[in-house]
Each structure stands twice: as C-alpha cells, then as structure tokens.
Homo-oligomer: A and B are copies of this chain.
Amino acid sequence: MDDIDQHIVSCLVVDGRASFREIGEIVGLSAPAVKRRVDRLQASGVISSFTARLDQGALGWNTQAFVNVTFRNNVSPARMQEALAPIPEVVAAYTVSGDSDLVVHIRASNMQHFEQALERLRALDSVDRTESTIVLSTLIDRPSPVDRH
C-alpha cells in the first residue's frame, strides 16, 4: 500500500467505474499495472467491494433513525450481529461505550414501517431498553477520506 495505491483507491472512491486506462493516466501507470494493483487491493481486503450509491430519498426510504439499545445481560458481538443481519431495515450497527450497548441505524419507508422494524429489534432476546432518535434530514453522507493521517 504505497502512494500510488492510495491514489488509485481515491480515484475509485470518487468514480467506482473509472477505467484502468483512465486511472493509469492520472497516476502515471499503464492499464495492466493498475489492474494488477486493484486486484491486489481487493484480494487484501482494502477495497471490499464496488457499489452504486443510491439516493434513498429518491425511492421512498424517507425515514431513518438511530436506536440506542441496552441489554439485560452480556451478549457477544457475534451473536448480536447474527440477530441483526436478517432485519433488512438495519443498515448499520455498532457496539458502543457509554449509556447504551448498541447503536443501530435503521432505514424505513415511513414511520409505520420504522415501527415494525423497531418492534423486531425489541423482540430480540436480551434486549432491555431502546431509545430512538429520529433523523429529520441528512446533512452529509460521504465515504471517509483515504488520505494519509
């Protein structure tokens, strides 16, 4: 992972469908050389996948919330992940330090739909309390930077 790799990755974050030749021109490499590096970056897991970013508002998923979950007893992160993965409305989940044990980011089409998803959450074993923070609007939502730090 040298400077050129970093440059290639930042190109692909900006445009995930950029051609290898195009990237090569920017970073000063031939297309096959870029391909080999991208293949290596994917194999090593630095690039986990390529995806289309959607404007969720543009197709109906207008309701989102952060749900702080508190457990009754100790639950392993692995078991919690298993339990959350089947709920499609859960787009992200993090174990956290602080008042609650888990922060779950939920996306739904509307409040009724959100309530359904929340009920599925609350029905999970060991869930003691949930506290929802409804999102009013998304100000920023972007990939994290690749830059050196």
Q: Number of copies of this chain in the oligomer? A: 2
A136 partner residues in chain B, CB cutoff 8 A? 94-97
Contact A142 B91 (CB under 8 A): yes
Measured CA separation A80–B14 after assembly (Å): 24
Contact residue among B47, B53, B64, B133 (Cβ-Cβ distance under 8 Å from A49) = B53
Convert A75-99 into 0s and 1s, putting 1 for each residue whose CB lies closer than 8 angstroms to a CB of B: 0010011001100111111111111
A94 partner residues in chain B, CB cutoff 8 A? 64, 66, 135-139
Interface residues on A, range: 35 or more
The chain B residue with its CB closest to the CB of A57 is B45
A81 partner residues in chain B, CB cutoff 8 A? 139-140
CB-CB under 8 A for A91 and B143, given A52-B16, A97-B133, A136-B97: yes
CB-CB under 8 A for A134 and B15, given A50-B52, A61-B144: no
Contact B53 A48 (CB under 8 A): yes
Q: Using a CB–CB distance below 8 Å, which chain A residues touch chain B?
A: 1, 9, 12-17, 44-56, 58-61, 64, 66, 77, 80-81, 84-85, 88-100, 102-103, 107-109, 113, 133-147, 149
